[in-house]
Structure 1
Amino acid sequence: MTLPADYFVISSLQEDGKKLRPGDWIERIASSLASFDANRRLRYSASVQPCIVDGEKCLVVARGLEETNPQAYEFIMQFANSNKLCMRLDRRMDERALPCEAMAS
C-alpha cells in the first residue's frame, strides 16, 4: 500500500496568489497519462490524478512516477516550476481527495 506522503499535490495557485489559466490544465496533464478501459471509460493513471483538495482542483502526483516514467515526471515538474505553482507533500491521512471524475456524476 502506498502511503499519502508518497504523493505530492500541485495547486492551481501560483506563488503570487493568482490562479493559472487555462483552468483545465490539470485535466489535460492527467488525461495525457490516462487510458481507456474495456467500457471505453477514461481511467486516470494511479500516478497522476486530478483531485479536489480543500475545495480546490489540484494535480496529485505519485513520487514514484520519477522512476516509472521519468519523462512525464520531468515534464510535470518543469511545468509546475515554470508556472510557479504551489506544491506540497500530500499529508492527508484517512481520506484521499475526491477525483474530479466523481464530481461530474
Structure 2
Amino acid sequence: MTEPTARQVFIQGITQDGRTFRPSDWAERLAGAMSCFRPDGVKTGIGAFIGYSPYCVPRVINGVKCVIVNEKLREVEPMAWDFVINFARDNKLQFAEACLLPEPPPAN
C-alpha cells in the first residue's frame, strides 16, 4: 500500500476582498524565511546551499503569486507552520488546502 500524499496549503497573493497583495516579492520573502526547515535539517559550511525548503515554496499559479506550504512543515517545526498560517490570516490572504499533482509526462 502506498503512503498518502501530504496535503499542502496554497496561500494566494490575493486578499479576501480581491486585491493583489503587496509587496510584489512577498512570496519569495515568506519562503525565504522558511528556507532553513528541511527534511535533513539545516546544513552549514561548505556543503550548504541557498534555496527554498521543499516544505514552503513560492510559485505562480494562473498568474497569481502563491506560496505552497507542505503539511510536513507542521511535523518538523510547529511554530514555523503557525507563523506561515498566521501570516496568511493576518494579511487576509486567500488560502486553501489541496494537493499539487505532478505534471503529466509530455506526449510524444
Given candidates 80, 92, 102, the residue that maps to 1:84 is 92
Secondary structure of 2:74's partner?
Answer: helix
The structure with more strand, counted as a fraction of residues: 1
Once residues 102 and 92 of structure 2 are traced to their aligned partners in structure 1, the CA distance between those partners, rounded to angstroms, is: 29
Are 2:12 and 2:93, in contact at CA under 8 Å, matched by a contact in 1? yes
Point out where structure 2 has 5 or more consecutive residues left out of the alignment.
37-42
Point out where structure 1 has 5 or more consecutive residues left out of the alignment.
97-105
**1:74 alignment partner in structure 2:** 82
Are 2:59 and 2:67, in contact at CA under 8 Å, matched by a contact in 1? yes
Deviation (angstroms), 1:6:
1.1
**1:57 alignment partner in structure 2:** 65
Q: Matched residues, percent identical?
A: 31
Once residues 2 and 32 of structure 1 are traced to their aligned partners in structure 2, the CA distance between those partners, rounded to angstroms, is: 28
**1:24 alignment partner in structure 2:** 25
- TM-score, L = length of structure 1: 0.75
Letter of the 1:68 counterpart: V
| Residues 41-64 of structure 1: CA deviation (Å, up to 9, x unaligned) | 522101000012122210000012
- TM-score, L = length of structure 2: 0.73
| Residues 60-97 of structure 1: CA deviation (Å, up to 9, x unaligned) | 0001211211111111111100111001123442329x
Pairwise CA RMSD of aligned residues?
A: 2.5
Are 2:59 and 2:66, in contact at CA under 8 Å, matched by a contact in 1? yes
Are 2:8 and 2:100, in contact at CA under 8 Å, matched by a contact in 1? no
> Paired residues, what number?
95
Once residues 2 and 19 of structure 1 are traced to their aligned partners in structure 2, the CA distance between those partners, rounded to angstroms, is: 34
